[in-house]
């Protein structure tokens, strides 16, 4: 038995925050943000929380697959901005919104969450345990960034993406390979210190903190290695890839990794200018956007990569069905 990506869906909240809007909030300017990151706008959730975005992305993925919620055997949801820290999981809240009683679990792999969710869904399906798994990356990071910290608040945005991973006997449709990694020695580089039991109420550092420049360097190095490794061990080159769909944190990271594997610019998917860094949601949102505008088509081979807090990072070779 193999696992395939059956469908994709996404949702973004309505409100758009531009770089010009941010100039009124923190000491920054459009030129700095554009030059250093490529970001122009991001969507911000006002009255919605992460499960609301996740639910709408899930409905979109179900509609695109022509499936009903009760055909889903399990939900795996990746987020760093859950409705509740500790419990219940946002996946449980989404299962309830969908009206299904099924195994549902959140995973904490930060911006690499979608690739980790994909790896888990693939393993469950290949084991024969489940037939259809709904995986979701959903974030309202606007609710966990410090709006007084210009080094982080300008970078992120809210959104959700969902995919249905299903069993197939057709190897041609199957996810080819997934590479996931983590190195906890970088745990302090990207962290929300005051939202767990270690510091808890003893600190007011409850917002996302990032050592941006250091993170950038490790991201480029590890991602380049991961995409090179996954291509090599599957006897593929950038010529065999139809679409490079990287995590959308910064166009400069995307560009550096694309150059490392000689990926032509026209095959690199860029949505960071519209949505900013939506963490675990960025890859499914980007795939969905490319499918909607008719670029990614059935049978196209996608190379995904992502990097995030932990640090975690990884890549995947996924045909679009």
Question: So which residues are the catalytic ones?
Answer: 111, 247, 277
Question: Between residues 88 and 212, which has the closer beta carbon with respect to ligand UT7?
Answer: 212
| Contact with ligand UT7 (CB under 6 A) among 2, 32, 84, 199 | 32
Per-residue tokens: 49: 């929380």
285 binds ligand UT7 (CB under 6 A): no
132 binds ligand UT7 (CB under 6 A): no
Question: Between residues 86 and 213, which has the closer beta carbon with respect to ligand UT7?
Answer: 213
Question: Between residues 10 and 208, which has the closer beta carbon with respect to ligand UT7?
Answer: 208
CA distance 151 to 220: 19
| 8 A C-beta contact, residue 310 and residue 300 | no
215 binds ligand UT7 (CB under 6 A): yes
Pair type for strands 209-210 and 243-246:
unpaired
Angstrom CA distances, 208 to 187, 229, 309, stand at 13, 31, 10
Per-residue tokens: 225: 């290695």
| 8 A C-beta contact, residue 312 and residue 224 | no
The DSSP bridge partners found for residue 166 are 4, 132
| Contact with ligand UT7 (CB under 6 A) among 111, 174, 223, 245 | 111
Question: Between residues 168 and 248, which has the closer beta carbon with respect to ligand UT7?
Answer: 248
| Contact with ligand UT7 (CB under 6 A) among 213, 235, 239, 293 | 213
238 binds ligand UT7 (CB under 6 A): no
CA distance 25 to 7: 39
CA distance 302 to 235: 15
Shortest distance in whole angstroms from residue 144 CB to ligand UT7: 13
| Contact with ligand UT7 (CB under 6 A) among 8, 162, 249, 281 | 249
Where b means 16+ CB within 10 Å and e means fewer, 267-276 reads bbbbbbebbb
41 binds ligand UT7 (CB under 6 A): no
Angle made by CA atoms 235, 237, 241, in degrees to the nearest 5? 110
Size of the site for ligand UT7 (CB under 6 A): 20
Shortest-Cβ-distance residue relative to ligand UT7: 212
226 binds ligand UT7 (CB under 6 A): no
Shortest distance in whole angstroms from residue 268 CB to ligand UT7: 16
Angstrom CA distances, 170 to 116, 128, 177, 304, stand at 23, 15, 15, 21
216 binds ligand UT7 (CB under 6 A): yes
Per-residue tokens: 312: 């975690």
| 8 A C-beta contact, residue 134 and residue 72 | yes
- Interacting span for ligand UT7 (CB under 6 A) from 173-181, 200-208, 222-230, 248-256: 248-256
Distance of CA 126 to the CA centre of its chain: 23
Shortest distance in whole angstroms from residue 250 CB to ligand UT7: 4
Shortest distance in whole angstroms from residue 28 CB to ligand UT7: 3
Residues that bind ligand UT7 (CB under 6 A): 28, 32, 36-37, 111, 150-151, 154-155, 212-213, 215-216, 219, 249-250, 253, 277, 307-308
């Amino acid at each position: 038995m193999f696992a395939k990506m059956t469908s994709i869906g996404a949702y973004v909240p309505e409100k758009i925050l531009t770089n010009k809007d941010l100039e009124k909030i923190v000491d920054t300017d459009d030129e700095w943000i554009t030059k250093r990151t490529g970001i122009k706008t991001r969507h911000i959730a006002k009255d919605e929380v992460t499960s609301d975005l996740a639910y709408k992305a899930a409905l979109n993925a179900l509609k695109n697959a022509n499936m009903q919620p009760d055909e889903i055997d399990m939900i795996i949801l990746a987020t760093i901005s859950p409705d509740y820290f500790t419990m219940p999981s946002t996946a449980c809240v989404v299962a309830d919104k969908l009206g299904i009683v099924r195994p549902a679990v959140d995973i904490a792999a930060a911006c690499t969450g979608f690739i980790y969710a994909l790896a888990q869904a693939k393993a469950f399906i290949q084991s024969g345990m489940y037939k259809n798994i709904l995986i979701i990356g959903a974030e309202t990071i606007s609710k966990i960034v410090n709006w007084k910290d210009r080094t982080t608040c300008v970078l992120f945005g809210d959104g959700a993406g969902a995919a249905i991973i299903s069993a197939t006997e057709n190897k041609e449709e199957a996810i080819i390979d997934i590479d996931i990694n983590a190195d906890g020695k970088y745990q302090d580089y990207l962290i929300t210190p005051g939202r767990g039991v270690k510091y808890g109420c003893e600190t007011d550092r409850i917002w996302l903190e990032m050592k941006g420049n250091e993170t950038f360097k490790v991201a480029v190095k590890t991602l380049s290695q991961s995409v090179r490794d996954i291509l090599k061990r599957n006897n593929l080159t950038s010529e065999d890839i139809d679409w490079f769909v990287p995590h959308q944190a910064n166009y400069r990271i995307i560009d550096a990794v694309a150059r490392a594997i000689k990926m032509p610019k026209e095959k690199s998917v860029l949505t960071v200018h519209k949505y900013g860094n939506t963490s675990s949601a960025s890859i499914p949102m980007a795939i969905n956007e490319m499918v909607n505008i008719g670029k990614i088509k059935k049978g196209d081979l996608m190379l995904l990569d992502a990097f995030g807090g932990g640090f975690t990072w990884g890549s995947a070779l996924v045909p679009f069905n």
